[in-house]
Amino acid sequence: MRKPKMIKRNLLFGLLILPLISCAESKKNTSEFIYENKESSVEIKILNGNDYLTYDTPIRTDFEWKNIDIKTGSIYGTGIKVLGTKNGITKTEINVPSNYLETDTLNIKLRFEINGEKTGTEFNVPVKTGG
């Protein structure tokens, strides 16, 4: 008679632990390319779903600005083409030429103002060979 009780206990434990595991998994899907300063932030979103860029491949990328005046913002980096800005999002296309970078990392520099104070940040985005 102990086995059914043990099975129930294990099943209950499994049901209780499952939400914790799924929360931990969803946390992994958040962007690692985010700068936050109190209520202001800027985040890079690579729209192909990867957390890296691919050499010689144009990849659409959004820069999402929150509580930062985009007019004060600048984006610097190899192969970045600004397509336009609307509703707090700067749409870009990034195409890194192969054999251009010394390391397989694209350094993207952002300069902007928060409450009139000039500031900036840098993101190091991995770049991989396609194929």
pLDDT tens, residue by residue, 17-33: 545 444 443 333 455 89
Each domain of the chain, given as residue ranges in start order, spans: 1-28, 34-128
Contacts 24+ apart (CB under 8 A), 53-56: 53/94, 53/96, 53/106, 53/125, 53/126, 53/127, 53/128, 54/127, 54/128, 54/129, 54/130, 55/96, 55/97, 55/98, 55/127, 55/128, 55/129, 55/130, 56/95, 56/96, 56/97, 56/98, 56/130
Chain segment 88-128, per-residue pLDDT in tens: 999 999 999 998 888 999 999 999 999 889 999 999 999 99
Give the confidence band of 8 by pLDDT, cuts at 50, 70, 90: low
The whole model's pTM is what? 0.74
Task: Provide the pLDDT for residue 70.
Answer: 87
Q: Which residues pair with 62 in a beta bridge?
A: 45, 91
Instruction: Give the model confidence (pLDDT) of 36-64 as tens digits.
Output: 999 999 999 999 999 999 999 999 999 99
> 34-128, which class in CATH?
mainly beta
Residue 53, exposed/middle/buried by CB under 10 A (0-12, 13-18, 19+)? buried
